[in-house]
Amino acid sequence: MASRIAAERESELAQFRQEIEVAIPALRRYARALTRNAELADDLVQDTLVRALRSEHLFHGGDVRAWLYTILTNLNRNRLRSLARRPAVKPIEESDAPDASGPETGGRDIERALAALVEDQRAALLLVVLEGLSYREVAEVQGVPIGTVMSRLARARMQIKAYLDGERPVLRRVK
Amino acid sequence: MTDRDSPVTQEELHAYVDGEIAADRRGAVEAWLAAHPEDAARVAEWRSQAEAIHARYGAIASEPVPPRFDLEALTRSTRSWRAAAAAAVLLAFLVGGVVGWMAHGASAAAPSRFDAYTAQALDAHKVYVVEVRHPVEVTGAERPHLVQWLSKRLDYELRVPQLEPSGLKLVGGRLLPGPFGPAAFFMYEGQSGERFTIYCARTDAPQTAMRYRAADRFSAYYWVDQGVAYIVSGPADRDRLLQVAQAAYDQIDKDTPAKPTW
């Protein structure tokens, strides 16, 4: 009996590992869009994985993917908070400096527009639009009601539009 | 007015774009968009935002995963992190004054996890048995409170042996930081003022038989039973200490239900 439970636990953990493994590419994508900085993004992903592996003994079934997004979202929020508490060390927040590797100007526009968003709105928008999570899943990841997720989405979209509407003419004039 | 004909809200427009719209409202939203160009423009704008985000970041998920994310390697580093943390704790106690004492033990070359408990217990013994005014936090007069309090902090039902038959009165106890969590510390006193202490803390170390260890003027008997480490420390008189430790052991043992054999 005990050995059967142990065997079940073993296979549960193996599946847990596998689900983590499968999620890595999407986590990297999300982290990159969230931070707009390749190095920072991969550091976040690594921290997320280490945390997940460290707490695998706490895992007893459930949605691994949503859990990983939750860890990453929280880690990034904590990172931004600690940056905010450290004034003037870096005059420009590193994550808000768009990386210059954008394939085309359009890419850099959307990058700047995302950078101008409040963190929670940015995360909500990216989780829905880029990662394809349902409103319900995003509500769980962010620990808020679905209504809050929807208003974050609406505000994010409105701000991006306002940003792009304001940005484009300026760019045209520069050229 | 049916569901199909009620006005479409902004929330529904977002839900429509995100594929979250209820199936029975999809037709209504599409009809609405055909009749309301401003909302249709909004929907188109949101879709183009989504496309821009995908165009900018989508390809990252198709990149080969860098070797730094190898789960096997990350698991190993997680384990070594844990081991390093445990080693650091152990080292702190070893450096903290028991290095010489360790040299007496045969296990000095490879200190076990359990050595951290005995080291800690002997340190506490040395510090508190000489204390005249405040040897304990809660006195033996408040025994039920003491037991309840420490049981709560250690998260298991503590057994505090009655050592009167061995000529020892419970002075009281205190909570101590153990090497891997809180520890309970009880002090007993004999008629001539000699003091003995019992240190207990939860441990994941395996069950052991009773062992003996001497450290200059003090000595200790220690064992692990049912996930709890017990260290009985006292003066260097080994026979007297064994008699006290045996009495403590018998009571803890007798009071512990379903003790596995060892």
CA distances from B155 to A14, B200, B254 (A): 31, 12, 20
Query: Measured between CB atoms, does A162 come within 8 Å of chain B?
Result: no
Q: Residues 79..108 of A with a Cβ closer than 8 Å to B: which?
A: 102-103, 106-107
Chain B residues within an 8 Å CB radius of A153: 14, 18
Task: Please name the member of A53, A111, A130 whose beta carbon is closest to the beta carbon of B74.
Answer: A53
The predicted complex's ipTM stands at 0.83
Distance from the Cα of B122 to chain A's closest Cα (Å) equals 32
Across the interface, whether the CB atoms of A134 and B20 are under 8 A apart is answered yes
Whether the predicted pLDDT of A88 surpasses 80: no
pLDDT tens for the 262 residues of chain B, in order: 445 567 899 999 999 999 999 999 999 999 999 999 999 999 999 999 999 999 999 999 999 999 889 888 888 766 665 566 666 655 555 554 444 444 444 333 334 566 778 888 888 888 888 887 788 989 998 899 999 999 998 888 888 899 988 889 999 999 998 887 899 999 998 877 788 999 999 887 777 778 888 877 788 988 888 888 899 999 888 888 988 998 898 888 654 443 333 3
Across the interface, whether the CB atoms of A21 and B71 are under 8 A apart is answered yes
Dist. CA B32–CA B27, nearest whole Å: 8
Angle at B193 between CA B191 and CA B194, to 5 degrees: 105
Residue type, B25: R
What phi-psi label fits residue B13: left (phi over 0), alpha (psi between -120 and 50 degrees) or beta? alpha
Q: Which residue has tokens 């930081």?
A: B177
**Strand ranges of the sheet holding B218-225, from the earlier edge strand across to the other edge:** B138-139, B169-178, B181-189, B195-202, B228-235, B218-225, B211-215
H or E segment at B179?
Answer: none
Residue type, B233: S
- Name every residue whose Cβ is closer than 8 Å to that of residue B185 and which is 6 or more positions away in sequence: B121, B124, B128, B173, B174, B175, B176, B197, B198, B199
Across the interface, whether the CB atoms of B20 and A154 are under 8 A apart is answered no
Q: Which of B57, B70, B75, B81 to mutate to test the interface with A (most CBs of A within 10 A)?
A: B57
Q: Are B31 and B10 in contact (CB under 8 A)?
A: no
Across the interface, whether the CB atoms of B15 and A135 are under 8 A apart is answered yes
Query: Measured between CB atoms, does A49 come within 8 Å of chain B?
Result: yes
Q: Is B138 exposed, middle or buried (0-12, 13-18, 19+ CB in 10 A)?
A: middle
Dist. CA A49–CA A28, nearest whole Å: 11
| pLDDT tens per residue, range A3-53 | 777 887 777 778 888 889 999 999 999 999 999 999 999 999 999 998 888
Q: Which of A129, A158, A160, A164 to mutate to test the interface with B (most CBs of B within 10 A)?
A: A129
Tally of CA atoms within 13 A in the half-sphere of B93 that contains its CB: 25
- Cα-Cα end-to-end distance for chain A: 74
Task: Please name the member of B45, B52, B60 whose beta carbon is closest to the beta carbon of A110.
Answer: B52
Average pLDDT, chain A: 82
Q: Structure pTM?
A: 0.55
Q: What is the pLDDT of residue A105?
A: 52
H or E segment at B202?
Answer: strand B195-202
Tell me the two tokens of residue A149. 């997720």
Tell me the two tokens of residue B75. 């698991």
Dist. CA B200–CA B10, nearest whole Å: 63
Query: Measured between CB atoms, does A24 come within 8 Å of chain B?
Result: yes
Q: Which of B11, B39, B54, B60 to mutate to test the interface with A (most CBs of A within 10 A)?
A: B60
Burial B170-205 (b: 16+ CB within 10 A, else e): bbbbbbbebbbeebbbbbbbbeeebbbbbbbbbbeb
Range list of H helices, chain A: 2-35, 38-54, 64-85, 105-115, 119-129, 135-142, 146-174
Query: Measured between CB atoms, does A154 come within 8 Å of chain B?
Result: yes
| pLDDT tens per residue, range A40-58 | 999 999 999 988 887 776 6
Across the interface, whether the CB atoms of B71 and A49 are under 8 A apart is answered yes
CA distances from B68 to A46, A49, A55, B219 (A): 8, 11, 19, 49
Q: What is the pLDDT of residue B97?
A: 46
Chain A residues within an 8 Å CB radius of B48: none
